[in-house]
Structures are given as C-alpha cells and as structure tokens.
C-alpha cells in the first residue's frame, strides 16, 4: 500500500518517501505565535498537516507529530505591554483560543506541543555549540548572532545565494553585526522590558531568537535528524533556511530529509497578510460557515497550490459537501472494514500517495456518492464514509449536517418553527388547500429551508 511520494522543497522534486527508521515517521510543523486569534492561513496549515499525519497513520506508520507554540517573541511582548497583561496570561489565552479553533475544524492535537519557553536550556545549549563550532559570536550590542557566510550550504532550501541577499534587502543594517546578513540567536534584554521576557545566560540576560526556538525543539524531541519538517510557504525563507543553517552547523549532520510547504491563502487573488489588512480570523469565518465546510474547502485544493478565499468559494464548498452527505442520508453504510482493494479506494490511495493529492481523492468521493445514489449499495456507502473519514470528513449523522445553520453566528429559522410550518403544510394539503401548501414551501425556501416529500407522506427538510 505504501508507495508514497512527497514533493521535497529541498530537492525541488517529488521523491519516494523512505523514513529514517523503518515503520516510524517523525514530523515537525511550525505552529502559531500566540499573541492574537488564528486566521484562515493558520487554518490551512493546521488542516493540511492534520491530513498528512492522518494519511501517514493510515499507511501504518507510527507517527510522532510535533507542532510547537511560540510563546516568546517581540510581537508577544508588544501586545502584552499594550494590554497591560503578563506574557503568560496573554499566551495562555490565545493558546486556548487556538485549540478551540483547531478542535472546531476537526484537527487532531499533535502528539507533542512544545512551548518555546519550556526549552530555553536546550536553545542555550545549541547556541553554545554553534559558538564552539565557530558559527556564532556576540556582537557589540550583546546579541549573539549566527555568521551566515560561514555555513557553506546557506540558501539550499530557498535557492537564494549569498550574492542574492545583498545587505539591506532582507535585513536592516546593524553595526553590531559582523555582516548584515547575520541573524540573531540570543537577544540581549533591554531596559524597560518585563521581567518575564528574559532568561539568564553566559552572554547576559536575554531571550532566544525565533529561528533557534524551532531548531532546539525539533532536535530535542525528534533527534538531530528527522523525517519531515512542514509549514507555510512564507516560512521557507528565512525561517526554515535559518533552521537548517543552525541545526546542521551545531550537529554536523543533515537536519531534515523532507521539507513540505503549503501554499499561500489569497484574498481576491492577493496574498493574505495582516500588513495588507485583508485577513480573516478563523472565528470570523466560523461565524458565517460551518467548520466542516471550511475544512472541506481547504482539503479539496492541493496543499502546495494557492488557496483563494472568498464567500463564494466557501458557499460552493458547502454545496459540494451537502451532495456528499445527501448520498448517505437514505443509505445506511454497512459495518464492514474499509476495503482498500475496491476500485474507488484504490484510486483514493493512489491520489493520496501522490504527494497528498486531495483534489483527486475528493473527486473519488463524488464518484462514490454518484454510485451510492444510483445503486443504494450499503457497501459503497461504507466506502464513501470511511474514505472521507481519512480526510476528517463526513463524520456526522447526515441529517444533523443537512439541518444545521450555516455558521455559529447564523442560527437561521429555528427547527421548532420549521416543524410547525411543515405541520401546517400537511394540514393544508389534507384540506386540499394546495395554494397554502405551496405558499408555506416557498416561505421556507425563502428562509433557506428546502422540503423533500418522502413516500408514505412524511416530509424531510434541509438547509440550503
């Protein structure tokens, strides 16, 4: 079953996946900096790598999935000061909010979720190794910096050469550095900063740079070399490039075998970013749309492609997911295990083994739904439900999905009122007042509720 190929950003090609340890996968994904609510770009990272870890487990691997929490950072310090709030209180509040958002989207918790502040000794140990190996130095301002030009492989992930990175293009000039391209490993504490933003070290009191956090947590929890490192495309440079430089200079061996990067989320074909002000928090999106619809919207695009967010696209995803649930509404899946030898399952497997090609996998679900509608076959219904379950979809009772409101902020017409109107329509039909019956149907449709008259005289409803 395992012929998995992964697009490795480092190789710029799809490669057959061969784990470092037989039957075991160690994967690290860069998590959130918890100073604000997560946005739809974070949702994509969470869902994409949730699907990746689900498929790896489906293939039979023993997976250790690590996704960190960055809980010390310049943005965190600024926000805490603005709020007159402690760092710990701020980061706990937004970590809890992140968990709520992830749970709503059906994202499984990672096996390990390290917080940066719990790994300060390991970060200091790695910086000490880098200094001993000649890759780190303390600048005139007290910061400890990484000497980029001393690492021969710098740029191998992003494809950027040292010559491309001319001084001032990516980094601000800093006379305390030996080279403008050098990046900070340990930041000296500054006057006026809160007490809980610094730790003692041999270089003075300070805090870690962003890049060293992930290197130290990854190596500590997964070993100096592990299988997969993932994150958003925006992290490829400089964050992941700097992780490679630090880790390999410290340990003397290759850091990661396969690098995976999901594409940007775009708003009206423009990259979403806080600086442009064109971003939506997950909470804002879930006010309008069901969380499983949002997950499906993310899943039906290939993870490496841009994802264009709009209400129109989410509405389209809702209609598509409704078709899948409708196929299961009147056909109860049998209780047999998923049959991977069945034709649809074999195509699904082939798609997922081709660099997690969820668009093709989702197309298989629609083919199955069409077959279920045509044949009413309970075995095919089981294949549909269980294959969708691999992607974290179709886990609810179909009528529960079909009858719920669009999002948490849109309750719509209440179920009790719908049932009352349906009863009034039944009474009108019995009285042969068909005009009134039609009027009630039209009223409900206007309110976003479609009726389906079933054999035997019963009526079912769903939201549209």
Residue 256: pLDDT over 70: yes
Q: Is 82 annotated as contributing to ligand binding?
A: no
Confidence label for 167 from pLDDT (cuts 50, 70 and 90): very low
Nearest to 49 by CA among 36, 69, 66, 71: 66
What is the average pLDDT across 258-266?
96
What is the average pLDDT across 43-53?
98
Whole-number Å distance between alpha carbons of 184 and 79: 21
176-185, 208-217, 366-375, 381-390 — which is least confidently predicted?
176-185
Q: Can you give the pLDDT at residue 168? A: 43
249, 135 Cβ separation under 8 angstroms: yes
10-24 pLDDT, tens digit each: 999 999 999 999 999
Residue 139: pLDDT over 90: yes
Per residue, the 3-state secondary structure of 306-364, as one string, reads CEEECHHHHHHHHHHHHHHHHHHHCCCCCCCCCCCCCHHHHHHHHHHHECCCHHHHHHH
27-39 pLDDT, tens digit each: 999 999 999 999 9
What is the average pLDDT across 276-295?
91
pTM above 0.85, yes or no: yes
Q: How many of the other CB atoms lie within 10 Å of CB of 285? A: 22
What is the average pLDDT across 325-346?
97
Residue 292: pLDDT over 90: yes
Domain 18-266: which topology?
Rossmann fold (3.40.50)
Q: Can you give the pLDDT at residue 1? A: 59
What is the average pLDDT across 45-56?
98
Q: Can you give the pLDDT at residue 2? A: 66
Q: Is 38 annotated as contributing to ligand binding?
A: no
Share of the chain above pLDDT 70, in %: 97
Nearest to 185 by CA among 165, 211, 167, 203: 211
Residue 170: pLDDT over 50: no
58-99 pLDDT, tens digit each: 999 999 999 999 999 999 999 999 999 999 999 999 999 999
Q: Is 99 annotated as contributing to ligand binding?
A: no
Q: Is 243 annotated as contributing to ligand binding?
A: yes
323-337, 354-368, 410-424 — which is least confidently predicted?
410-424
Is the pLDDT higher at 317 or at 456? 317
Share of the chain above pLDDT 90, in %: 78
Domain 289-402: which topology?
1.20.120
Confidence label for 173 from pLDDT (cuts 50, 70 and 90): low
402-423 pLDDT, tens digit each: 988 777 766 678 888 888 888 8
Q: Can you give the pLDDT at residue 417? A: 86
215-245: b (≥16 Cβ within 10 Å) or e: bbbbbbbbeebbbbbbbbbebbbbbbbbbbb
Structural domain spans, the chain: 18-266, 289-402, 415-463
What is the average pLDDT across 435-461?
85
Q: Is 239 annotated as contributing to ligand binding?
A: yes
Q: Can you give the pLDDT at residue 457? A: 73
Confidence label for 191 from pLDDT (cuts 50, 70 and 90): confident
Average pLDDT for the chain: 93
Highest average pLDDT, of 306-315, 436-445, 447-456, comes from: 306-315
112, 65 Cβ separation under 8 angstroms: yes
Q: Can you give the pLDDT at residue 195? A: 84
Whole-number Å distance between alpha carbons of 382 and 371: 12
Residue 166: pLDDT over 80: no
**What single-letter DSSP state applies at residue 261?**
E
34-38, 234-238, 275-279 — which is least confidently predicted?
275-279
51, 356 Cβ separation under 8 angstroms: yes
5, 355 Cβ separation under 8 angstroms: yes
């Amino acid at each position: 079953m395992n012929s998995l190929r992964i697009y490795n950003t480092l190789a710029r090609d799809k490669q057959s996946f061969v784990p470092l340890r037989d039957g075991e996968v160690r994967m690290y994904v860069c998590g959130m900096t918890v100073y604000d609510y997560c946005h739809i770009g974070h949702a994509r990272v969470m869902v994409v790598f949730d699907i990746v870890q689900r498929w790896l487990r489906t293939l039979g691997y023993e997976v250790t999935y690590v996704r960190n929490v960055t809980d010390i950072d310049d943005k965190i310090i600024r926000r805490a000061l603005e709020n007159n709030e402690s760092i710990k209180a701020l980061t706990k509040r937004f970590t809890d909010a992140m968990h709520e958002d992830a749970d709503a989207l059906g994202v499984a918790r990672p096996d390990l979720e390290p917080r940066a502040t719990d790994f300060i000794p390991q970060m200091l140990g790695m910086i000490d190794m880098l200094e001993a190996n000649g890759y780190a130095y303390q600048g005139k301002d007290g910061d400890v910096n990484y000497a980029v030009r001393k690492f021969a492989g710098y740029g191998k992930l992003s494809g950027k050469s040292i010559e491309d990175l001319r001084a001032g293009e990516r980094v601000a000039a800093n006379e305390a550095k030996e080279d403008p391209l050098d990046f900070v490993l340990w930041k000296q504490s500054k006057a006026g900063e809160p007490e809980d933003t610094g730790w003692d070290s041999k270089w003075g009191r300070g805090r870690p740079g962003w890049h060293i956090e992930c290197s130290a947590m990854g190596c500590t929890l997964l070993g100096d070399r592990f299988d997969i490192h993932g994150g958003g495309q925006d992290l490829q440079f400089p964050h992941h490039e700097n992780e490679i430089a630090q880790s390999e200079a410290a340990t003397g061996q290759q850091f990661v075998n396969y690098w995976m990067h999901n594409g940007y989320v775009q708003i009206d074909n423009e990259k979403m970013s806080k600086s442009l002000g064109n971003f939506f928090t997950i909470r804002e999106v879930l006010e309008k749309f069901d969380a499983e619809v949002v997950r499906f919207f993310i899943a039906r695009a290939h993870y490496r492609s841009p994802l264009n967010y709009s209400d129109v696209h989410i509405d389209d995803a809702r209609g598509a997911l409704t078709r899948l649930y409708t196929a299961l509404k009147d056909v109860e899946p049998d209780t047999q295990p998923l049959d991977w030898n069945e034709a649809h399952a074999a195509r699904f497997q082939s798609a997922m083994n081709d660099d997690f090609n969820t668009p093709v996998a989702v197309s298989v679900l629609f083919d199955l739904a069409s077959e279920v509608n045509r044949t009413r076959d309970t075995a095919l219904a089981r294949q549909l439900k269980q294959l969708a379950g691999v992607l974290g979809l179709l886990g609810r009772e179909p009528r529960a999905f079909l009858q719920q409101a669009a999002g948490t902020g849109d309750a719509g017409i209440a179920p009790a009122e719908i049932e009352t109107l349906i009863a009034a329509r039944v009474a009108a039909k019995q009285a042969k007042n068909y005009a009134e019956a039609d009027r009630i149907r039209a009223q409900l449709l206007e309110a976003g509720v479609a009726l389906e008259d079933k054999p035997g005289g019963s009526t079912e409803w769903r939201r549209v």
